[in-house]
Chains A and B, each alone.
Chain A
């Protein structure tokens, strides 16, 4: 398989003894959208900075198969803007660093600003626009760079919902063109809709490195089974106590959200419920990325 990104034995220790990353190993092929998740301080930004080349690893290597260093674009969590310049010139910088000429840099900048809906701000100084708009300028700059690998550290901070969706749709389209995108975000519900691979960092270690379906499926195989039951009638405290004694966790009463953690199976659950209520619908509760993350963390 053609791996454009190879990470081998990567570790990073900040002086004096803070271990930010510990023996990370991973490979990425073209067309992959990776969700990099983990708690605050897990090492997500450090990993992104090392891949971007602005931090050096203490041990190990990151190998990138790209046309040139400018084939990698990076959006940092911190605000990385030239405060002396306006929006247009900040965005254009990405294209110029990639080697596009003046005319091309303007074209690419306008396209990127259009995508992020900041074209009307093009002549504004970046210091007078809002934090969310500044974020969009950074993202637009990365897009104007026309890179093959994009590293996005919390790119959706400050973006409204519509802008997030629009942006993620574009990112998804980029990966379909064969680009690699690594996106670090705490917005797990949004990530879940788009990513196809998960890197889960915990205390500097890459605890999980899997396709998203595998990551979610593993959790479905755990002993916990959850159901949502829509019903008519009254359950009654006695029935709820019986269910709990039989090994069900009642998460919510109406609609009934129940987690079966022992031998009580679905048929027995339905039989017990039918003694008291009329069941309208019963469906398994699908574990989303946020729930799995919560369970795993």
Chain B
């Protein structure tokens, strides 16, 4: 028999992580995603096909074939890491949506109150978005190959996906932290609509920063997505880990510790919900 105490300290740290609890959370995130087949179709089919096929090919038709500008002579190869990066970034608002609903309807309290460790909960919630982002990247790659884009070595692709998974975790954990600050859906939706567009457009997903106007270069320095995409591009084009990746990885770890500590101290109902 366990002696379970409810007192004004946070949750016991021994209940942080368990494989069984983690897999239950993943199972339920999958079931929820499966119910929203439109979103599934969008993520795995529509977006990764239309992006390169329409937008990428269109811009690429007049982009100069200059490896000094793009690091490669093929524009689509240049924007492939950018599209992948945006795909991984999309997990940011997906996790915000899912977690604010979990909190709003008491499910976060139900799961953690029933003993799901905080880390199991966090990792369980970020696993499926990571998998979806990787699958999306692979579908994009298949479309690019069909458009005769040079993909380079498989090892570079694998390295890029590995870097991408870390960036997904970064965005997902950041989303978890930010979701605690929303008091209602209006605030959540306002934040998402105001934040995602500038982050996307000021990142080097579709253009090299070196040729961009000065104000854009300065703005991009404050955009975490910039570092993600730079790291992805370094991995894909040159097969190396950049400082940007190391910075993202370290920041992800710090955010994970912070999120775990924060959730451990949270209350899940009443005036604090």
Interface centre among B35, B105, B270 (most CB of A within 10 A): B270
Q: Is the CB of B31 within 8 A of A50?
A: no
Closest to B270 in A: A55
Q: Does A23 sit at the interface, judged by CB under 8 A?
A: no
User: How many residues on chain A are close to B (CB under 8 Å)?
Assistant: 47
Given A14-B270, A14-B271, A80-B110, verify A53-B6 contact (CB < 8 Å). yes
Residues of A within 8 A of B105 (CB): 78-83
By the criterion CB–CB under 8 Å, are B32 and A82 in contact?
Answer: yes
Please provide the chain B residues from 15 to 31 with a CB less than 8 Å away from any CB of chain A in the complex: 15, 20-21, 24, 27-28, 31
- Taken together as a complex, chains A and B put the C-alpha atoms of A49 and B112 apart, in Å, by 13
Does B137 lie at the interface of the complex (its beta carbon under 8 Å from any beta carbon of A)?
no
- Bound state CA distance, A62 and B6, in angstroms? 5
| A294 and B122 alpha carbons, distance in the complex (Å) | 48
Q: Answer whether A97 and B6 are a contact pair too, CB < 8 Å, given A83-B101, A84-B35, A85-B31.
A: no
Contact for B113 among A54, A57, A125, CB less than 8 A: A54
A94's nearest neighbour on chain B, judged by CB, is B114
Name the residue of chain B whose CB is nearest to the CB of A63.
B5
Q: Does A157 contact B (CB under 8 A)?
A: no
Q: Contact at B7–A56, with CB atoms within 8 Å?
A: yes
Residue numbers in A under 8 Å from B111 (CB-CB): 97
Least distance between B197 CB and chain A CB atoms (Å): 26
Indicate the member of A93, A98, A145 with the most B CB atoms within 10 Å. A93
Q: Is B64 part of the binding interface, using a Cβ–Cβ cutoff of 8 Å?
A: no
CA distance A73 to B115 in the complex (A): 11
**Which of chain A's residues has its CB closest to B15's CB?**
A69
| Min distance, Cβ B226 to any Cβ of chain A, angstroms | 33
Interface contact B268-A55, CB-CB below 8 Å? yes
Contacts of B68 in A (CB 8 A): none
In the complex, what residues of B have CB within 8 A of residue A83's CB? 101, 105
Task: Say yes or no: B32 contacts A66, CB within 8 Å.
Answer: no
Establish whether residues B115 and A55, one from each chain, have CB atoms under 8 Å apart when the complex forms.
no
Interface pair B36/A84, CB less than 8 Å apart: yes
Q: Given A54-B267, A56-B8, A85-B32, does the pair A97, B24 have CB atoms closer than 8 Å?
A: yes
Q: Are A56 and B267 in contact (CB under 8 A)?
A: yes
Q: Could you give, for residues 70-107 of chain A, a 1 whenever the CB lies within 8 Å of some chain B CB and a 0 otherwise?
A: 10111010111111111001000100111100000000
A150, CB-defined interface residue at 8 Å:
no
Identify which of A57, A65, A73, A86 contacts B3 (C-beta below 8 A): A65
Chain B residues near A69: list those with CB within 8 A. Answer: 2, 4, 15, 113-115
CA distance A15 to B15 in the complex (A): 29
> A51 in the interface, Cβ–Cβ < 8 Å?
yes
Contacts of A86 in B (CB 8 A): 35
Is A287 an interface position by the 8 A CB rule? no
Contact B114 A80 (CB under 8 A): no
B107 within 8 Å of A by Cβ? yes
- Residues of chain B lying within 8 A (CB to CB) of residue A53: 4, 6, 112-113
Quick one: CB contact mask for B98-111 with A, threshold 8 Å, 1 for yes? Answer: 00010001110111
With contact pairs A67-B2, A80-B107 given, residues A58 and B268 touching in the complex (Cβ less than 8 Å)? no
Q: Tell yes or no: A68 within 8 A of B by CB.
A: yes
- A25 and B182 CA atoms in complex are apart in Å by 36
A52 proximal to B (CB < 8 A): yes
In the complex, the chain A residue whose C-beta lies closest to that of B24 is A96
Contact (Cβ within 8 A) B4 A66 = yes
Contact A57–B1 (Cβ < 8 Å): no
- A284 to chain B: closest CB distance in Å? 44
The answer, yes or no, to whether B221 is at the interface (CB within 8 Å) is no
Measured in the bound complex, the distance between the Cα atoms of B80 and A181 in whole Å is: 58
A76 with B115: in contact, given A57-B8, A63-B3 (CB under 8 Å)? no
Query: Could you mark each residue 255-273 of chain B with 1 if its beta carbon is under 8 Å from any beta carbon of chain A, else 0?
Result: 0000000000001111110
B27 to chain A, nearest CB (A): 7
Q: Is the CB of A85 within 8 A of B114?
A: no
Of all chain B residues, the one with the shortest Cβ separation from A49 is B269
The answer to whether the Cβ of A27 comes within 8 Å of any Cβ in the partner chain is no
A residues near B (Cβ < 8 Å) are 14-15, 45-46, 49-70, 72-74, 76, 78-86, 89, 93, 96-99, 125, 145
Beyond contacts A82-B28, A97-B114: 8 other A-B pairs, Cβ-Cβ < 8 A, are A46-B270, A54-B106, A54-B267, A56-B7, A56-B8, A66-B4, A72-B113, A74-B113
Q: Hey, which bits of chain B sit against chain A, CB under 8 A?
A: 1-9, 15, 20-21, 24, 27-28, 31-33, 35-36, 101, 105-107, 109-116, 267-272
Return the 5 tightest CB-CB contacts between A and B, nearest first.
Answer: A69-B115, A80-B106, A84-B32, A54-B109, A62-B6
29 residue pairs bridging A and B, Cβ less than 8 Å apart: A15-B271, A45-B270, A50-B6, A53-B113, A54-B109, A54-B267, A54-B269, A55-B272, A56-B6, A56-B8, A56-B267, A57-B7, A57-B8, A64-B3, A65-B1, A66-B2, A67-B1, A72-B114, A74-B113, A76-B269, A78-B105, A80-B110, A81-B105, A82-B32, A82-B105, A84-B33, A86-B35, A93-B28, A97-B114
